[in-house]
Amino acid sequence: MTSTLSSLVNHQVRLASRPVGLPNADNWQFSSEPVAEPGAGGVLVKTLALSLDPAMRGWMNEGKSYIPPVGIGEVMRAGGVGVVIASQHPDFAVGDHVAGGAGVQEYFSVAGDQIQRSGLSRIDLRLGTLTQWLNVLGMPGMTAYFGLMDVGQPQPGDTVVVSGAAGAVGQTVGQLAKILGCRVVGIAGGPAKCEWVVRELGFDACIDYKAPPPPGAGRWDPVGVGLKQHCPKGVDVYFDNVGGDILDAVLARLARGARIVVCGAISQYNNTTAVQGPKNYLSLLVNRARMQGMVVFDYAGRYPQAVAELAVYLKDGRMKSREDVVEGGVAAFPEALNRLFSGRNFGKLVLQVAEA
Amino acid sequence: MTSTLSSLVNHQVRLASRPVGLPNADNWQFSSEPVAEPGAGGVLVKTLALSLDPAMRGWMNEGKSYIPPVGIGEVMRAGGVGVVIASQHPDFAVGDHVAGGAGVQEYFSVAGDQIQRSGLSRIDLRLGTLTQWLNVLGMPGMTAYFGLMDVGQPQPGDTVVVSGAAGAVGQTVGQLAKILGCRVVGIAGGPAKCEWVVRELGFDACIDYKAPPPPGAGRWDPVGVGLKQHCPKGVDVYFDNVGGDILDAVLARLARGARIVVCGAISQYNNTTAVQGPKNYLSLLVNRARMQGMVVFDYAGRYPQAVAELAVYLKDGRMKSREDVVEGGVAAFPEALNRLFSGRNFGKLVLQVAEA
């Protein structure tokens, strides 16, 4: 194995500078280095696919958050799936498929004393495909599961609204809520996504926030109109991935005792001015409602149980998934990431790094 | 009694029009009508004092809220305390002191079939003074008690911050939190209020949001600086009575798992533009925190238990109260109400209607 490894080159994408607004080419630098044999207890992984997530934009910023920022000059943080190509660890064998903190690079290694802390774990391709392990069975699925179950706490019959409905987290949130017996309304951009969410995923309705005004329309508010139409009893649970105007529109339609899960705010991540605060937040008071943030890492101890449950739904067909796989390897990362911010991805955005 | 009653005139203040921004003289009209004998099962009360509350501003607006708006031409809604001067109801005798939905007028009657629904109740002046029954033992006290206990859920050792700290709700929130073993930091306007909150009520600190900049100061942010100084471990519970910039400053200092009680937003009630949404709301995500609204009426069934507990604290000296009593009767109502919005009241604002 040693002779093979020494000939491998690891191509990487590093953070060159902190973006102002939407990331551009100047914020990234490409590097390469030889692949090294793992040390005692360590594992070396060839990355097959990377997860591209809205949260990455936050990791590029300076300042306190739920996780330290990526340092300038460091390989960009990313979750990924791959195959073990060298191992000095008893729990990992060459050929095992794994998920872990890959970074935007072609190979990653985890030192022996970091295995536990890194969260490196074997994945079972009988439970889901490689890309599903980055989606329903990965971080987005865990985020959807614990955000909805623990924070949103939906009851059968509740009206659940989810934004970014065709995205990685949204698709699982909505399908889970349907399984729980809720009325589910998605919000997504464009007729193709909305149609898919309703026809394929079985949501009760989907509101196209990009819908053009009908001829002769005055002030045009497709989300407000859609919520009024599809949530006649108000919104009991809102799973928010987008923030901004859509959050305000939902706040205006809350049912009494509503729960808002603050999962993300992709509409605000590239702002060069202050985040848009929800001007309708006093609806929380009127409706005795709450708005609560969540970070998926807090639930790490319960991932296996959620994975097991979601894998059952995948197998029996109650849960579908869609991944939008971008080819081109790590070199394609900068452009691929930005698709998230214009809504050009359709489904969980994945960067293919090598053929499985 | 009949001959006496028929000679009485009831002076009233009615809502003439809906205000835009701060209420002014045009929004009110004065009226008077004879006082009528109560019908079967009814009670007639002479009002002694009225509660003046920030929430009144919301009741003057058109539109859906937690309670219907006051109609144009109707007597302005107000809670009050008074003495029964005629009764056809077995639970109320002439001379009893009572609290109830008085309205801004000198006399109010409750029909027999409305007694229960109206919330009219006898008050015991051995538990607290008349004005304390509009403060600690009245709606502000109930709001403080259930907002803090049920929504804020403070634990001993928590850092609890309350805005409007010298106001009706704030004074009780902070003292209750001290009794529970919390570190308590108030926010109030001006050195006199801040000094009273610390010296008399025993808060650990009070931040003067109106503090002038020291000589040579650049950008001056007394609340941000004060929170950093007085809440080194962050804010576990924030009881918000004011909204606006102060809410944003506290959001920026949340501890992990923090709870924000959305009780009011007096800084925003007279806006002629949209409410200022909290631009730092994503701190809820980073800190796994929640923001939750409350309306005191939901806890009506538990008022007696809260009154009993608070009365003990009043008697044993752990709870102090301050009422700012304005004289001049109902004619003084319009000007007195507006004191709330400029922070000119010091303590619970009460309008004296008649001598006790």
In this complex, do A285 and B298 lie within 8 Å of one another by their Cβ atoms? no
Give me the phi and psi of B45, to 5 degrees please: -125, 135
**Same domain? B199 vs B77:** no
- Stated as kind and residue range, the H or E segment containing A334 is helix A333-342
Nearest of B56, B52, B51 to residue B81 by alpha carbon: B51
For residues A215 and A331, membership in a common domain is answered with: no
Token pair of B137 as six digits: 């033992």
β-bridge pairing A290-293 and A254-262: parallel
Cβ(B103)–Cβ(B109) under 8 Å?
A: no
How do A79-87 and A43-51 pair as beta strands? antiparallel
User: Does the CB of B280 have a partner CB in chain A at under 8 Å?
Assistant: yes
Answer whether A281 sits within 8 Å of B268, measured CB to CB. no
pLDDT band, residue A87 (cuts 50/70/90): very high
ipTM: 0.93
CATH of the domain at A126: 3.90.180.10
What is the total residue count of chain B?
Answer: 356
Report if residue B208 sits inside a domain: yes
Tokens of B164: 């409007």
Chain A touched by B55 (CB under 8 Å):
no
Task: Tell whether the model's pLDDT for residue A280 goes beyond 90.
Answer: yes
Q: Are residues B116 and B100 in the same domain?
A: yes
Q: B279 is written with which tokens?
A: 């631009």
Domain-embedded: residue A312 = no
- What would the pLDDT profile of A10-47 be if each residue is shown by its tens digit? 999 999 999 999 999 999 999 999 999 999 999 999 99
B284/A contact by beta carbon, under 8 A: yes
Q: Give the C-alpha separation, B120 to B96, whole Å.
A: 12
| pLDDT, averaged across chain A | 96
Residue A169 CA: distances (Å) to CA of A134, A239, A241: 11, 9, 8
Q: How many CA atoms lie within 13 A of A25 on its CB side?
A: 2
In degrees and rounded to multiples of 5, residue A83 shows phi and psi of -130, 140
List the CATH number of the domain containing A216: 3.40.50.720
Rounded to 5 degrees, what angle do the CA atoms A232, A235, A239 make? 145
Give the three-state DSSP class for B176. helix
Contact A290, B292 (CB under 8 A): yes
* A277 shares contact with chain B (CB less than 8 Å): yes
CA-based nearest residue to B239, from B159, B132, B155, B319: B159
Q: Does A55 touch chain B (CB under 8 A)?
A: no
Q: Is the pLDDT of residue A356 over 90?
A: no
The verdict on B272 touching A (C-beta cutoff 8 Å) is no
pLDDT of residue B2: 47
Total domain count, chain A: 2
Given A265, A287, A295, which is nearest B293 (Cβ)? A287
Considering the domain boundaries, does residue A107 fall inside one? yes
Q: Do B203 and B107 reside in the same domain of the chain?
A: no
Q: Taking CB atoms and an 8 Å cutoff, what residues of chain A touch B292?
A: 284, 288-291
Instruction: Decide if B223 is inside a domain.
Output: yes
CA dihedral B246, B247, B248, B250 (to 10 degrees): 90
Does residue B248 share a domain with residue B273? yes
B101 and B184 co-located in one domain = no
Do residues B227 and B161 touch, judged by C-beta distance below 8 A?
yes
Distance CA(A321)–CA(A344), nearest Å, equals: 17
Looking at chain A, the whole-number percentage of residues with pLDDT higher than 70 is 99
State the nearest Cα–Cα gap between A342 and chain B, in angstroms: 21
User: By CB neighbour count within 10 A (0-12 exposed, 13-18 middle, 19+ buried), where does A21 fall?
Assistant: exposed
Cα dihedral A210, A216, A220, A226, rounded to 10, equals -70
Contact across the interface for B248 and A277, Cβ inside 8 Å? yes
pLDDT mean over A188-215: 96
> B294 to chain A nearest CA, in Å?
5
Q: Is A290 on the interface with B (CB under 8 A)?
A: yes
Rounded to 5°, the CA angle A325-A326-A328 comes to 140
DSSP string, B83-113: EEEEE-STT--TT-EEEEE--SBSEEEE-GG
Measured distance between the N- and C-terminal CA atoms of chain A, rounded to whole angstroms? 19
What angle in degrees, to the nearest 10, is found between the helix axes of A168-179 and A303-316? 80
B8 CB within 8 Å of a chain A CB: no
Domain assignment present for B100: yes
Residues B148 and B202 in one domain: yes
Q: Which residue has the tokens 């107000």?
A: B78
Phi/psi zone of residue B343: left (φ > 0), alpha (ψ -120 to 50 degrees), beta?
A: left
Please write the tens of the pLDDT for every residue from A298-352.
999 999 999 999 999 999 999 999 999 999 999 999 999 999 999 999 999 999 9
Residue A304 placed within a domain: no
Residue B313 domain flag: no
Count residue pairs from A and B with Cβ separation < 8 A: 107
Reading the block at residue B171, the tokens are 């004074």
| Rounded Cα gap, residues A301 and A118, in angstroms | 13
Please name the amino acid found at residue B184.
V
Structural domain boundaries enclosing A11: 2-135+322-352
| Mean pLDDT on A254-281 | 94
Q: Would an 8 Å CB–CB cutoff place B174 in contact with chain A?
A: no
- Please tell me the predicted confidence (pLDDT) of residue B3: 52
Set of chain B residues whose Cβ sits within 8 Å of the Cβ of A262? 281-282, 284-285
Q: Is A295 on the interface with B (CB under 8 A)?
A: yes
Tokens (6 digits) for A234: 């108000």
pLDDT value at position A3? 53
The tens place of each residue's pLDDT in chain B, 356 residues long, gives 445 787 899 999 999 999 999 999 999 999 999 999 999 999 999 999 999 999 999 999 998 888 999 999 999 999 999 999 999 999 999 999 999 999 999 999 999 999 988 989 999 999 999 999 999 999 999 999 999 999 999 999 999 999 999 999 999 999 999 999 999 999 999 999 999 999 999 999 999 999 999 888 788 999 999 999 999 999 999 999 999 999 999 999 999 999 999 999 999 998 988 899 999 999 999 999 999 999 999 999 999 999 999 999 999 999 999 999 999 999 999 999 999 999 999 999 999 999 98
Q: pLDDT per residue over A236-262, tens digit each?
A: 999 999 999 999 999 999 999 999 999
Identify all chain A residues contacting B298, using CB atoms and an 8 Å cutoff: 288
Q: Which residue of A has its CA nearest to B290?
A: A292
A251 close to A231: Cβ distance less than 8 angstroms: no
How far, CA to CA in Å, does A142 sit from each of A169, A171, A176, A266, B125? 8, 12, 12, 18, 57
Write the DSSP assignment of A144-191 as a string of letters: HHHIIIIII---TT-EEEEESTTSHHHHHHHHHHHHTT-EEEEEESSH
Alpha helix segments (H runs only) across chain B: 2-6, 55-59, 115-118, 139-146, 168-179, 191-199, 222-230, 244-251, 283-286, 303-316, 333-342
Distance CA A250, CA A227 (A): 7
**8 A C-beta contact, residue B77 and residue B101:** yes
Whether residue A83 lies inside any domain: the answer is yes
Q: Which two tokens stand for residue B48?
A: 């002694």
Statement to judge: residues A116 and A262 lie in one domain: no
Question: Cβ(A339)–Cβ(A345) under 8 Å?
Answer: yes
B contacts of A295 (beta carbons < 8 Å): 285-286, 288
Question: From the CA of B107, how many Å to the nearest CA of chain A?
Answer: 30
Average pLDDT over residues A143-153: 98
- Cβ(A99)–Cβ(A133) under 8 Å? yes
Same domain? A65 vs A167: no
DSSP A75: B
pLDDT at A307: 98
What is the rounded CA–CA span in Å between residue A141 and residue A308?
12
Gap from B273 CA to chain A (nearest CA, Å): 10
Does residue B147 sit in the same domain as residue B279? Answer: yes
Residue B159 CA, chain-centre distance (Å), reads: 23
Contacts of B125 (CB under 8 A, 6+ apart): B97, B133
- B274 and B144 in a common domain: yes
Q: Which residue of B has its CA nearest to A252?
A: B64
Choose among A277, A285, A294: nearest Cβ to B281: A277
CA distance A262 to chain B (A): 6
Residue A99: enclosing H or E segment and its boundaries?
strand A97-101
What is the longest distance spanned by two Cα atoms in chain A? 71
Q: Do the chains contact at B288 and A293, CB–CB below 8 Å? A: yes
A32 in Cβ contact with A45 (< 8 Å): no
Same domain for B159 and B44? no
Give the closest-approach CA distance of A22 to chain B in angstroms: 19
Contact A176, A146 (CB under 8 A): no
Query: Average pLDDT, stretch A6-13?
Result: 94
Q: Is residue A186 within 8 angstroms of chain B, CB to CB?
A: no
SS3 B311: helix
